[in-house]
Chain A
Amino acid sequence: MKNSSLLIRTAVILAVTLIGFYLVFGPRGSVNASSFTWAGIKKNLSENINLGLDLKGGSHLVMRVKTDDYLKKLTENNKEAALTAAKEAELPVGDGTFVTENNNYQVSINVTDDSKTPEIIEAVKKKVDFSGWAESVSGDTITWSLPVAAQKVLKDQAVTQAERIIESRINAFGVKEPTFARHGASDSGQLLLQMPGVEDPERIKKLIGAESRLTLMKVDSPPNPSPVKIFPTEQAAIQSLGGTIPSNRKVFPFSERDDAANDKNNPQDKKEPTQWVVLESPAVVDGSELRDAAAVSRTGSESDYQISFSFKPGGAQKFGEWTGKNIGSYMAVVLNDEVKSAPYIKSQIFDTGEISGKFTKGTAEDLALTLKSGALPAEIEYQEERTVGPSLGADSIRAGVTASIGGLVFIVIFMLIYYRGSGVNAVLALLLNLLLTLAALIVFDSTLTLPGIAGLILGIGMAVDSNVLIFERIREEMRAGNSAASAVNEGFDRAFITIIDTHITTIISSVILYMYGSGPIKGFAVTLILGLLINLFSAVFVSRTIFMWLLERNPNMKKLSI
């Protein structure tokens, strides 16, 4: 009876140990002879264990989508769209107002003839998406307001949309194995991006947050062959329009610049543009009609890049019609409210165009990318940025590992001297604990970070403590005159109560840390929890089995090596 339980115990331990060995040191994918050489095993180890950014180097960015701004913009646009829709349907509307304060978003439009209210509502709702908004009519005002629940939904949609756009930008940029996910509380609007190996994230940060709006607009100028009408200052341009800018005109700077030699020592120094043009609003086509954009170089020079773009069928149609009617006119290519070029229309064009200007290769590629991936629903802001160079990460590993191994070696030597034969038992349990904790990290696909190593060390500390508790207890029982067998049983039984209590206490606090802590603290909590759970197996179950096995071989043992 006793024999069979010992057999089962031994089988369980062997199976678990083998699985642990395979998980930590075993090869993944293709297996060949070299997988089992010393170098191969080392390689397996580094492939199996997922190191955190603080250990292998990389960038860690926390950004937040400004969802409040998104709702503001949405409210404002909806007001404009509602007014336009009603006016187009030739219904009697006055002016509109909107509120975007204190989580209160509403659009109101004034009706000049009360009897038409239902028709106006119908006309507006046909054109403007007011689903989720609460509608109310009082007197001559129609009001749409956004309930808090709907705000949450919309904000969440904005974050999801931003997530998708940023992801496509990151992928197009060619970052290797990035992790990109929501971060923090569910309504925080935060996103976490981790990029292993990226040491200087400036360019990608710029790319992620870049806003690239492309519009093609007609220039308010006499047609070719007279030159395009340019004003030296914004004031002069506005003066030519009679002092104020009417709603169907826009004044933008014109900077087809190649003056790359700016004052390098004073990047803050902003030059006032010297060329301004007046454009006709609304735009002929805008960026939402873009199908593709790419950086191309005509001359092959690194600093002479253009961006070519093509339209979706709908946009191409619009563009073709317009260019057909406006041959000879000047058309402005406007990028982010700035005219990049103003060629005249030679013949009808349908679906392709070009943003000329002297871009560097990098800038042109980034611009093409941001144009293609679409506009972010709202601006993003960066809240946290951490970068670790690979050498710094390697140094921390080395320091942490050296210190841990130093501590471990000392503990092993001490246990062997102090507890002699039983010390071997304790050391086996310790090493098994270490092996299985690493295996568990691999199984749960957790990353090992610096605080994680700290958790590992504390877990080993607790494992040593468990052994010490048990052994001291066994010694006490032996001093009290018990036989080896009963001392071992008593020792394990009594120490077990203490071990359970100490472990559960620490697990409780670690679980709370895991739930409420942030990144690095989570890493600490995970390894500690795993280490403690495994310790219940290695220090109690395995150690006891070894003792049982010893006693089985020599049932009348009087003295135990402890």
Chain B
Amino acid sequence: MFEFFGNINVDWMGIRKPLIALSILILLAGLISAVGRQLTPGGTDAFNLGVDFQGGTFITAKFKGEKPSEDGIRAALQTVGVNDSVIQSSIDKADEVLIKVPLIKGADEEAANQTQANVNANLAANSDSQTTDQAAAQTREKNQVDSGRALVKSALDSFGKEAEGTKTLAEDESAAYKIVGTDSVGPVAGEQLRNQAIIATLLGMLGILLFIAFRYDWTYAAGAVIAVFHDVLITLAFFSVFQWEVSLTVLAALLTLVGFSVNDSIVIFDRIRENLTLHRNEPIYNLTNRSINQTMSRTIITGGLVFLSVLALVLFGGEVLRGFSLALFVGVITGTYSTIAIASPIAIWWQDKIGAAKAKIVEVSKTERLASASRRSVSRRPIAR
């Protein structure tokens, strides 16, 4: 048999304190980054929220020939009145530029006021809808989720004209660029998506909590769910510190890592439960270590394989999946780590507390007490065979 970890014997629970300290350190860094950024006037926000969550327009433009510099595009956008644009050259495709424009605040109100104050002028605009340019002006007022796309287009037009209609960039010879992708989200929809995401995630965790409590015990459910929270927060800390963009796909990744982290915790809890019936007199501390060691080869293989798949995603997954891949990348590591460093210590600690409460009434030796207390709480349900 070819194997990595046949028999290992590591005192995992002995190093729980330094591990927890490490987690707290990363979380603190994330907190400082988030709060610091939020409070610094004129600086970036706590998170680099994508247009999905804060509204705005995200545009992918493909250029022919020489691509304008990021500064050039930024300057062009400033001339049409967009000051907070984020411009990023695509890493894997040399001819593409990603442009993010925040919600043009007050654009709607302005349009409304104009309508009120100057009905006649608007009527004139209506009648002008025969000409395409006037049509654009009209849609800018009324038909747009956000005026971002129209503004970006007018800014980019300074570099040459956009490929027309259904023609591709190659087909339209006189064109200099083409907008190949748009994501435009209005303020209402952005808020809706954000709230929906938070509610879905929290409810998902509640579901997990209840199921583990039903299958195992509250102490384990708490351990697993706190570990999951920890993983999500650590991942978010990375996103805040490095200002990676948080989009809907990142949310999908966070949810994926919730699944992965709980999965990992359950594998070990399951082994602890099994060991509790096999070794009745062993303290829970030792049992936990033994269970982690017994499942270590599985942890390494699964974790390693998933890690490598995610690495492939980070390297070859492309720009659109970047946020997703990065979130999973961090998540896979922290998800495996948190089972050992967070979920198990919390479960043990809690069971220790239960045991200590009982000990005041019945005098038993420490080891027996712990073992029996945990057995009571864990092996209440019959182990199905």
Q: Name A's B-contacting residues (CB within 8 A).
A: 54, 62, 64, 184, 199-200, 202, 205-206, 209, 234, 253, 255, 257, 260, 262, 264, 267-268, 270-273, 336-338, 357-360, 363, 381-389, 391-392, 395-396, 398-400, 402-404, 406-408, 410-411, 414, 417-418, 420, 450-451, 454-455, 457-458, 460-462, 464-465, 468-469, 472, 475-476, 479, 493-494, 497-498, 501-502, 504-506, 508-513, 515-518, 520-521, 524, 528, 562
Interface pairs A-B: 7 shortest CB-CB: A399-B318, A407-B309, A389-B180, A267-B137, A509-B204, A516-B200, A383-B189
Chain B, residue nearest A305 (CB) = B130
**Do B320 and A497 touch (CB < 8 A)?**
no
Quick one: given A402-B316, A451-B249, A516-B200, are A391 and B180 in contact (CB under 8 Å)? yes
Q: Which residues of B contact A (CB under 8 A)?
A: 1-3, 6, 60, 62, 92-93, 118, 120-131, 133-140, 142-145, 149, 165-166, 168, 178-186, 188-189, 192-193, 196-197, 199-200, 203-205, 207-208, 211-212, 215, 248-249, 251-253, 255-256, 258-260, 262-263, 266-267, 270-271, 274, 294-295, 297-298, 301-302, 305-306, 308-310, 312-313, 315-318, 320-321, 324, 383-385
B348 to chain A, nearest CB (A): 20
Q: In this complex, which of A260, A509, A512 has the most chain B Cβ atoms within 10 angstroms of its Cβ? A: A509
- Known: A209-B143, A267-B133, A403-B313; 19 extra A-B contacts, CB below 8 A, are A260-B130, A262-B134, A272-B120, A337-B123, A359-B130, A399-B320, A418-B2, A418-B3, A450-B249, A454-B249, A460-B309, A468-B305, A501-B266, A505-B266, A506-B263, A508-B204, A509-B208, A513-B204, A528-B259
CA distance A521 to B247 in the complex (A): 11
Are B2 and A417 within 8 A (Cβ)? yes
Closest to B142 in A: A209
Beyond A382-B143, A521-B248, A521-B252, whether A457 also contacts B302 by CB under 8 A is no
CB neighbours (8 Å) of A460 from chain B are 309
Contacts of B383 in A (CB 8 A): 497
Q: A200-B165, A400-B317 are in contact. Are A517 and B197 (CB under 8 A)?
A: yes
Contact among A255, A360, A399 with B317 in the assembled complex (CB-CB below 8 Å): A399
A residues within 8 A CB of B126?
336, 338
The answer to whether A262 touches B123, judged by C-beta atoms less than 8 angstroms apart, is: no
A262 touching B312, Cβ below 8 Å = no
Q: Is the CB of B139 within 8 A of A363?
A: no
Contacts of B318 in A (CB 8 A): 395-396, 398-400, 403
Q: Report the bound CA distance from A518 to B201 in whole Å.
A: 12
Alpha-carbon separation in the docked complex, A498 to B263 (Å): 9
> Does B188 contact A206, Cβ atoms closer than 8 Å?
no
**CB atoms of B384 and A461 under 8 A apart:** no
Alpha-carbon separation in the docked complex, A504 to B270 (Å): 14
Closest to B310 in A: A407
Which of A383, A388, A450, A494 is the one whose CB lies under 8 Å from B274? A494
Instruction: Identify the closest chain B residue to A457 (Cβ).
Output: B309
User: Could you say which residues of chain B place their CB within 8 Å of the CB of A402?
Assistant: 316
Given contacts A382-B144, A520-B249, contact A458 B260 (CB under 8 A): yes
Q: Which of B62, B127, B188, B294 contacts A383 (CB 8 A)?
A: B188
Would A403 and B137 be within 8 Å (CB), given that A272-B124, A382-B145, A450-B321 are in contact?
no
Report the Cα distance A414→B312, complex, angstroms.
15
A516 and B324: CB pair below 8 A?
A: no
Across-interface contacts of B184 in A (CB, < 8 A): 384-386
Asked if B316 and A403 sit within 8 Å, CB to CB, the answer is yes
The one of B182, B204, B262, B316 in contact with A385, judged by C-beta atoms closer than 8 angstroms, is B182
A-B contact pairs, 26 of them (CB 8 A): A262-B128, A267-B140, A273-B120, A383-B145, A385-B149, A386-B182, A389-B178, A389-B179, A391-B180, A392-B60, A404-B313, A406-B316, A410-B312, A450-B320, A451-B248, A454-B321, A461-B306, A465-B302, A505-B211, A509-B205, A509-B207, A509-B208, A509-B259, A517-B197, A521-B248, A562-B1
Contact B384 A506 (CB under 8 A): no
Complex CA–CA separation, A257 to B130 (angstroms) = 9
Closest CB of chain A to B144's CB: distance in Å? Answer: 7
B259 and A505 within 8 A (CB): yes
Which residue of chain B has its CB nearest to the CB of A519? B248
A206/B124 in contact, CB under 8 A:
no
Q: Are B251 and A454 in contact (CB-based, < 8 A)?
A: no
Contact B252 A451 (CB under 8 A): yes
Residues on B with beta carbons closer than 8 Å to the beta carbon of A479: 6
A517 x B166 contact (CB < 8 A): no
Q: How far is the CA of A510 from the CA of B189 in the complex (A)?
A: 23
Beta-carbon nearest neighbor of B306 in chain A: A461
Q: How far is the CA of A518 from the CA of B310 in the complex (A)?
A: 24
Instruction: Say yes or no: A255 contacts B256, CB within 8 Å.
Output: no
A62 pairs with B321, CB closer than 8 A:
no
Q: Is the CB of B270 within 8 A of A497?
A: yes
B181 near A406: Cβ-Cβ < 8 Å? no
A residues in contact with B301, CB < 8 Å: 418, 468, 472
Inter-subunit contact B385/A493 (CB<8 Å): yes
B324 is contacted by which of A391, A395, A454, A517 (Cβ under 8 Å)? A454
Taking a contact as CB atoms under 8 Å apart, the answer to whether B130 and A363 are in contact is: yes
Residues of B within 8 A of A399 (CB): 92, 316-318, 320-321
Q: Which residue of A lies closest to B129 (CB)?
A: A363
Determine which of A234, A414, A501, A513 lies in contact with B120 in the assembled complex, contact meaning CB atoms within 8 Å.
A234
Closest to A501 in B: B266
Determine the chain B residues whose CB is within 8 A of the CB of A404 once the complex forms.
309, 312-313
A400–B207 contact, CB under 8 A?
A: no
- Nearest-Cβ distance from residue B288 to partner chain A, whole angstroms: 16
A475–B166 Cα distance when bound, in Å, is 60
Q: Are A383 and B186 in contact (CB under 8 A)?
A: yes
Cβ-defined contact, B200 with A458, below 8 A: no
Bound together, the chains give a CA A241 to CA B94 distance in angstroms of 66
Q: Complex: how many Å from CA A62 to CA B192?
A: 12
Which residues of the partner chain B approach A524 to less than 8 Å between Cβ atoms? 252, 255-256
Which of A264, A337, A410, A501 interacts with B308 by CB under 8 Å? A410
* Whole-angstrom distance between the Cβ of B256 and the nearest chain A Cβ: 5
Contacts of A501 in B (CB 8 A): 215, 266, 270
Pairwise interchain contact A505-B263, C-beta atoms closer than 8 A: yes
